[in-house]
Structure 1
Amino acid sequence: MPFTPFHMGPGLLIKALFQGSFSLMVFGWSQIVMDIQPLIVLLTGEGHLHGFSHTLIGASLLSTLSCVSGKYLGEWGLRLLALRSRSAPHLPISWPVAATSAAIGCYSHVLLDALMHGDLQPWWPISLENPILGMISAATLHQACLYAGLLGTAGLVVVNYWQKRSTQ
């Protein structure tokens, strides 16, 4: 699922369930970081489309990078959103929340892509096999991600409404 919003569906659901214990900004950033290597391959025509970045080792390294950079970029983005909407100041993203969000982002990215991309080798260098390829169809996977996103968005709207109502 390179460069699609489908990866964000599960992230929206996790955010709705765990609220301040999960950063959707860091999660979203990790999705972008994970697909930089496939983007380079698509632009240059050189390399393995779902290469090192889409292995568990690559996801571990990119999770660390996404955590550190995503914490600061996410806080900056939240500050901009708070200024623009004149809302209450944002809460900082704690290191444990950034680390958890980045790890969930990177590992879920490998898992979701491994279900549908035949060139993905998640266990490299231990194995070149992809044991979960085709466990569900790509259409079913896309639907599940879409429904997770819709459910998560609805959950966030309800929680936001409840929070505003309880502060009045």
Structure 2
Amino acid sequence: MPFTPFHMGPGIAIKAASQGSFSLMVFGWSQIIMDLQPLIALTTGQGHLHGFSHTYVGATLLMIVSAVSGKYLGEFGLRVLRIFSPGDAISWRVAFLSAAIGCYSHVLLDSVMHADMAPFYPLSDANPLLRLVSVRMLHVFCVYSGLVGGGVYFWLQFRHRKAIPQQGKRDAIAFKRP
């Protein structure tokens, strides 16, 4: 992907499907961590554009870094956005799952479009995933998965918020009956 935001599309879809069992904050942080090596290579003109960080071995190491740092940064971000309560802490399981999905999906998506990648290094220098689908189709998938996932997520949130007051009304009515 030319830019990290394209990777967020599938993450938004996963968040919509799994709700509290997935942290979009940790997932997004893992996307940034994954693209630090290409950013440094682009800005300095030195190093491999999609080097070790864009292999599954490198992604495993970056997944650990992303999960550990992302748990705390994600919780901090949720506090800043004022959508965090003490019971909303990101569990270690969710942090590691979200970072793993983020890092491994990043390698998978980039492998389809970047010829300079060797995702299975050190076992192989080949990239069997290259051009598995067209770059255009890959971008369409990422954008549409984000749009559909975002729509589903906000629809579920709306339904949940709408159901809570009605549940409270039913409980209040049931409580008043002798």
TM-score (norm 2): 0.90
CA RMSD, 1 decimal: 1.0
Does 1:77 pair with 2:77?
Answer: yes
Task: Give me the whole-angstrom Cα distance separating, in 1, the residues matched to 2:58 and 2:143.
Answer: 26
Look at both structures and tell me which one has the larger radius of gyration over its CA atoms: 2
Q: Cα deviations across residues 59-112 of structure 1 (Å, max 9, x unaligned)? A: 000000000000000000001111xxxx56261100000000000000000000
Secondary structure, in 3 states, of the residue corresponding to 1:97?
A: helix
Indicate conservation of the 8 Å contact 2:30/2:102, yes or no: yes
Q: Cα deviations across residues 111-161 of structure 1 (Å, max 9, x unaligned)? A: 000000000100111100000100101000000011100110001111110
Number of aligned positions between the proteins: 164
Secondary structure, in 3 states, of the residue corresponding to 2:61?
A: helix
Runs ≥4 residues deviating over 6 A: none
Secondary structure, in 3 states, of the residue corresponding to 2:81?
A: helix
Does 1:136 pair with 2:156?
Answer: no
Give the letter for the 1:98 counterpart. Answer: A
Match of 1:89 in 2: 85
TM-score (norm 1): 0.95
Indicate conservation of the 8 Å contact 1:2/1:38, yes or no: no
Percentage of pairs with the same residue: 60
**Gapped runs of 5+ residues in structure 2?**
166-178
Match of 1:35 in 2: 35
Secondary structure, in 3 states, of the residue corresponding to 2:113?
A: coil
**Gapped runs of 5+ residues in structure 1?**
none
Secondary structure, in 3 states, of the residue corresponding to 1:72?
A: helix
Indicate conservation of the 8 Å contact 1:15/1:23, yes or no: yes
